[in-house]
Amino acid sequence: MIRVNGLTKVYGSGDAAVHALRGVDLEIPEGDFVAIMGPSGSGKSTFLSILGCLERPSSGDYYLDGRDVNSLEDDELADLRNKKLGFVFQSFNLLPRHNVLRNVEMPLIYAGVPSDERRKRAQELLEQVGLGHRLTHKPAELSGGEQQRVAIARALANNPLVIFADEPTGNLDTKSSLEIMEIFQQMHRAGRTIVLVTHEPDIAAYARRVIHFRDGKIVREETK
């Protein structure tokens, strides 16, 4: 479902040029659970954000769900992110001025889902992550683990094909990390494709495949 060939990313130019990715080839079939590991600065986040259509590669091909991503317009990419992709970040990235319900509704608003249907869907998702009773709270009133669960509910709002998670447990204690990974595990079992970046082997152990990055390249891969 995801296929990249010879993917490179260069930031800046001339002497200041940074080669974040130096030719990455990878295929991820539907329903796969992939963990990406590697030293800091090896290009993991860059790779994830290209897969997530948040930025474009400098060169190389990217096919997602049969579509040539490089050929899509900005608005088409936005639509793709909205309906097919979900994101979970290390720092949760919830909207601080809106309550939990609104945070989860946001992708549904951009998708043009009518308000009562939207509300129902957001409520369901929040119940699934165990936060059905915190709908009107602001993100700052929640613990880190709870915030990340809201972020997961939000990522699932439009029932996306793939979830991209960049160090989702990086800011959490062990207990919350385990809770979050339980949710990822469930999503995987339900057949959703997951691509997750992590530094921790314990977390990577949940994945079916572990891919190791170094200097902008894949250097090793393990499959369970």
Partner 1 sequence: MMNFADLVQIVWENLRAHRLRAVLTTIGIAIGIAGVIAVVAVGQGGQAVIISEIEKMGSSLYFDISPDYMRGETADSNTFSIEDPTIIKELSPAVDKMAAITLGPMVDVRLPSSDKKTIMASLYGTNPDLIHIMNLSLEKGRFITDLDVTSHSRVVVIDAGLAEDLFPKEDPLGKKIFVQDTPLTVVGVLEKAPSSMMDMFNVRSLYSPITQAQDMLNTKVINQLCGTAVSEEALPQAISDSIKILESRHSSVSNHYVGTTLEEQLEMVGKVTSILTTVIGAVAGIALLVGGVGVMNIMLVAVTERTREIGLLKALGARRRDIMQQFLGEAVALCLLGGLIGMVVGIGGAFAIALAAHWPPLISVWTVLLAIGFSVIIGIFFGLYPASRAASLSPAEALRHL
DSSP string for 96-160: TTS-HHHHHHHHHHHTT--HHHHHHHHHHHHHHTT-TT-TT--GGGS-HHHHHHHHHHHHTTT--
Nearer to partner 1 among residue 13 and residue 175 (C-beta)? 13
Paired tokens of 224: 């369970």
Contact between 55 and ligand ATP per CB under 6 A? no
Shortest CB 72 distance to ligand ATP, Å:
21
Nearer to Mg ion among residue 37 and residue 162 (C-beta)? 37
Looking up tokens 């260069």, which residue turns up?
A: 10
Contact between 116 and partner 1 per CB under 8 A? no
Contact between 40 and ligand ATP per CB under 6 A? yes
Which span (38-46, 143-151, 156-164, 176-184) binds ligand ATP, by CB under 6 A?
A: 38-46
Contact between 45 and Mg ion per CB under 5 A? yes
63 binds, among Mg ion, partner 1, ligand ATP, none (CB under 5 to 8 A by kind): none
Nearest to 170 by CA among 194, 139, 203, 143: 203
Selected binder of ligand ATP within 2, 4, 7, 20 (CB under 6 A): 20
Contact between 11 and ligand ATP per CB under 6 A? yes
Find out whether 193 and 162 touch, Cβ atoms under 8 Å: yes
Selected binder of ligand ATP within 44, 121, 154, 188 (CB under 6 A): 44
Residue 12 to residue 1: CA distance in whole angstroms: 31
Which span (43-51, 74-82, 131-139, 156-164) binds ligand ATP, by CB under 6 A?
A: 43-51
Find out whether 48 and 166 touch, Cβ atoms under 8 Å: yes
User: Which residues are paired to 11 by β-bridges?
Assistant: 18
* Residues of this chain that bind ligand ATP (CB under 6 A): 11-12, 18, 20, 38, 40-46
